[in-house]
Amino acid sequence: PTEPLPWSSDDLQLRFGMEVSLGRSLSESLYQSVALVKYAVDGTNLGEQWQPRNCALYCAMRDRVKMAIADLEDQGYEVEVAGFFWMQGESDALYRPWAIRYDRNLTRLFAQTRRDFGSDLPMVYGMVSGDPEQIPYLHTVRTAMQEFDQRNHRAIAVETEDYTKPDSIHWDTASTLKAGEEFASAWLELGEPQTSLPFTPQPQFVMGLIAFILLLMGVAVFSWFARQANRKAKA
């Protein structure tokens, strides 16, 4: 990691997210190495905490991503941002004002992300799911996500309703691994990269870099492809 992760409860720090299977699935599909950069803050919402205009969590995430890019470039890699993965929404579905504005807030978040990392950046995000008795405005947020998927260019939603949740909210291990695989498949469905030829190590090669933002019940991910620049031979 480029820096220590933000504080989370001891219990959450003992868990892992879908980055394990997502990274593996992308690496195996693209015949490329994949590096992961992880950023996590549990219990956060899009309604206020992740809004770019507040420059709190979004700016912290953006700066962390840029640190990772700079680190790779210092090692001789040329980095191109190639995707954004987002899994969040339960916190917003607890509070009606956030729920009814989720579409607008998601639009703002993705628009700022594309301004910072590329106007044609592919977006993959998970449909929030759970128990409506515990998450009163779940349907409102899900509807916003569905509508966003239907009208936005190069954005695709991943359904999570069939994922198993021991506590009705958090995924179990099998579903966490399944999520990573399905998010990877969705990203590939968007049409990047253009080729999937077998990977052979050479002086110049393609390397994947993925930066994760793990939220209360999910993961947001940036993904890049980095091409190694020619390195000067050491004396």
3-state secondary structure 123-136: EEEECCCCCCCCCC
The predicted pLDDT at position 144 comes to 96
Classify strands 77-86 and 218-228 as parallel, antiparallel or unpaired: antiparallel
pLDDT (tens digit per residue) in 47-91: 999 999 999 899 998 998 899 889 988 998 877 777 888 999 999
pLDDT of 45 reads: 95
Each domain of the chain, given as residue ranges in start order, spans 35-193+202-228
Structural tokens at position 66: 């840029």
Q: Is the pLDDT of residue 136 over 60?
A: yes
CB 16 within 8 A of CB 36: no
Task: Give residue 206's pLDDT band: very low, low, confident or very high (50, 70, 90).
Answer: very low
Across the range 145-163, mean pLDDT stands at 91
Full-model pTM: 0.79
pLDDT tens digit sequence for 7-43: 555 555 556 788 889 889 988 998 887 767 777 677 8
What's the CATH architecture for 35-193+202-228?
Answer: 3-Layer(aba) Sandwich (3.40)
